[in-house]
Structure 1
Amino acid sequence: MSIKNEYLRLNRVEDIAEQIGGAQRMLGISAVIITQILDVIITVHALTISGVVELNPIALAAINAFGTIRGLLLLSLTAVLMVSLVTEFAAAYCTSSNFPAVYMRLLGYLPMTAVSVVAISYNMSLLISLSG
């Protein structure tokens, strides 16, 4: 195999790896954003219509400072940005080490998504119990 062919093959491998990394990034960020949006919608509904009280002290401080919708949106946006930045910086560092970036993305995006799913589930069960 000539040097030129080897160089072209390596470029294709790097392009494929970059595409996979981009897909992982978009999947992780999308999961966090979607669950955060659902959490905000259900929480706003619970707080305004059902008279439920916010138990999260950080969310409560944001609500008191900026209002229900703006406070929750600001808090969610901050959380998404922080998780995304930390995760992607860590994933970029992992590409230079032996730790695969996909694991770093799982460690970064999965807990935030799971916490949001738990919050959504809890709020939905609370709304269902209040309506019935």
Structure 2
Amino acid sequence: MKRIKIDRSKCIGCLTCTTACIVSHDCVDNRSRIALSSKGKYAPIFCRHCDKPECVYTCMTGAMRKNPDTGIVEYDKNQCASCFMCIMACPYGVLKADSENNREIMKCDMCQHTESKNPQCVARCPMHAITLEEV
């Protein structure tokens, strides 16, 4: 299984990763699926696609599920009841409500909709601080 990792010593807080995410997902409200830590300098916090994801366990409808083949925690907006239990359960604070359609959840999907081998935050990081690594 692959996860997005960041080397904070290389990150300069330029937020190119968030812009790449916004462009990749064609977000009209300019909101990224990447959460930001503002301690000292802005730095991205990525969905960890946990082995035992709390967002999946608290989802009463099955809208959040862990793909057994890829290891990615996936979200199906058509099954979502908009209870936001997944947001409250995430220990990393990386899930958020979509401000355009407040009934949907925004989370990292590893840019599965693109033809690229890497998520766009990884591909576009000018400092190569963000990598996709096998864990």
- TM-score w.r.t. the length of structure 2 is 0.31
- Write 1 or 2 for the structure with the bigger share of helix: 1
- Write 1 or 2 for the structure with the bigger share of strand: 2
- TM-score w.r.t. the length of structure 1 is 0.32
